[in-house]
Structure formats: C-alpha cells, structure tokens
Amino acid sequence: MTALVWVLGILVLALAAGVFLWLRHKSRTAKPIPERPGFKSETASELIPSVPERRPSGGVKQELDLPSRYGEDKVVLMARDPNWLFAYWEITAAKQEEQGITPETWQASRPVLRVYDVTDVEFNGTNANSFVDIPITEEADRWHIKVDQPNRSFCVELGRVLPGGTFVGLVRSNIVTTPRASLSEAVDEEWMWVEGIYRSVLRFQTGISSPLLIEAVKERMGIIPLGIASPVLLPPEKGD
C-alpha cells in the first residue's frame, strides 16, 4: 500500500513538471500580436497639440510692437491726483524748422516745460495767473509734475530757453483741473427738510401712537419740495 502511494506521488509531480515546461516553451515561441491597421503607438509629447506659428507670406516672423513715435507735434496733460500732473509729448524736426531756430541755436538752448496756472481765466498764452519753468532732459518725452494745488486748472507748454533767456514755445497742451483734496463745500438745500422731519420724530418716545407721528410729519410736509424723494403715505380722510 505504501509503495502505491509513492508511485502515485511521483506521477503527479512528473505531470506537473511536464505541464510547466510545456507552458514555458509555448510562451517563448509565441508570435507577437500584429498592430491593427490604422493604429500606431504615440508618445506623450505627440499627444500634446501644437499651435503652428503664424508667419507672413515672406517667411519672416513679424513682431507686433506699438510705434514709439507717430510723427505728430503734441503735448498731452493729465491730472494724476490733487497734487500731481503727468505730461507726455512728441516734437518733430519740422516743428524746429517752423520756429526758425537754427541748429546752432537749438544746441545752445535748453529744453523746459512751462507750467501755467490758468484757474478761472480764458487762457490765451499770456494771461495765466502764474507759471513756472521745469528743466527737462533732451531725451525726455514724459514728465511727472508736482503742483501741490488741488482744485486748480493747469496747462503746460514745451519749449526752449535761448541763450539770452528768451522762451520759445513749441507745443501747448490741453487744460486739466486737479481733483479736490477735501469734501465739497456745496450743500444741497433741497434735502434739508429730511433732517427736520427726523428730529421731529425723535421728539416722541417709544409707545406713542402712529397718528401723532403722522401729524408731526404733516407739519413738516409744508416745506417738502415737490419731486424730491418718495411721498409719505397718509391715512385716507373720513368719507373717502
């Protein structure tokens, strides 16, 4: 009996070893699975869409930059806050020739930015309340101007001071007014009646019936300007 058990065990082991060796041999000799028509493997970089670079017809890459010059003689003035102005400008060579300034005189002169206080005046170039000259550099085309004068009107003129001290204006700017640095002093009298009604209502203590409040409002209604705010809803008169 014992010998029969040993024989059966050896047969089982031999069968298992044969199956293992057969599967191993088949896996080595298996043919690769062919790719399906129309499909191919892709890398991660190929999956990221690329935007083609647009180029002009000539094939040269075109840079879209704003021009630094527009060929116009102008000075633009802006009020930055109650204490500061900002100006930028452009002067062409034709403007220099128009003023009759020779190249030698131009080289001997110096550029300045003349700031006029034109508050409450019809400015014609000579009737400003006051003015101040700010020295600037030859290369400058913009300038921050400290005025420290809220609620005032200003105009600037770009020019040259000649060797003899004469000022020659080239281009004059628009007129701007600096903002106020405090609350407005204007009082809207049409709304004064609201404060009066509010004080009348506060005279009554909690628990007073609404008819008393309505009568107080009626007294004030005689000074209410027409068309201001919403009307007060009063109870209907007897007989309505």
Residues 96 and 156 in one domain: yes
Looking at the fold, whether 166 and 91 belong to one and the same domain comes out as: yes
Read off φ and ψ for residue 97, nearest 5 degrees.
-70, -35
Q: Is residue 106 part of a domain?
A: yes
Q: Give the pLDDT band of residue 136 (cuts 50, 70, 90).
A: very high
Task: Inform me whether the pLDDT recorded for 112 exceeds 50.
Answer: yes
From the number of C-beta atoms within 10 Å of its C-beta (0-12, 13-18, 19+), residue 69 rates as exposed
Query: What is the rounded (10 degree) CA torsion for 117, 123, 128, 132?
Result: 50
- Domain membership of residue 232 (yes or no) is no
State the total domains in the chain.
2
The verdict on residue 12 lying in a domain is no
**Residues 103 and 163 reside in one and the same domain:** yes
- CA gap 169, 100 in Å, rounded: 12
Within a domain: 23: no
CATH of the domain at 125: 2.60.40.10
Q: What pTM was estimated for this model as a whole? A: 0.51
- Length of the chain as a residue count: 240
Place of tokens 């109650």: 82
List, for residues 45-89, the tens digit of each pLDDT value.
454 555 555 555 555 555 556 555 566 889 999 999 999 999 999
Q: Which domain holds residue 136?
A: 74-177
Query: Is residue 163 in some structural domain?
Result: yes
Q: Which of helix, strand or coil describes residue 177?
A: strand
Give me the pLDDT at residue 16, please: 77
Query: Are residues 208 and 170 part of one domain?
Result: no
pLDDT band at 233 (very low <50, low <70, confident <90, very high): very low
* pLDDT surpasses 50 at 166: yes
Sequence-separated (6 or more) residues with CB below 8 Å from residue 203: 216
Helix (H) or strand (E) holding 214: helix 210-221
Does 237 fall in a domain?
Answer: no
- Determine the pLDDT at residue 183: 76
Same domain, 93 and 167: yes
> Are residues 216 and 144 part of one domain?
no
Residues 159 and 214 grouped into a single domain: no
Question: Beta partners for 134?
Answer: 113
Residue 23: pLDDT band with limits 50, 70, 90: confident
**Whether residue 205 sits in one domain with residue 164:** no
Q: Are residues 169 and 208 in the same domain?
A: no
Element (H, E) at 169: strand 167-172
Q: Is the C-alpha dihedral spanning 69, 70, 74, 79 positive or negative?
A: negative
Within-domain flag for 20: no
More confident residue, 177 or 102: 177
Asked if 156 and 145 count as a contact pair (C-beta separation under 8 A), the reply is yes
Residue 226 has pLDDT above 50, yes or no: no
Closest alpha carbon to 170 in 182, 185, 158: 158
Residue 92 lies in a domain: yes
The contacts of residue 80 (CB under 8 Å, 6+ apart) are 86, 144
Higher pLDDT, 22 or 199: 22
Q: Is the pLDDT of residue 110 over 70?
A: yes
Are 170 and 90 within one domain? yes
- Structure tokens belonging to residue 206: 């909690």
> In angstroms, what is the C-alpha Rg of the chain?
46
Asked whether residue 156 falls in the same domain as residue 197, the answer is: no
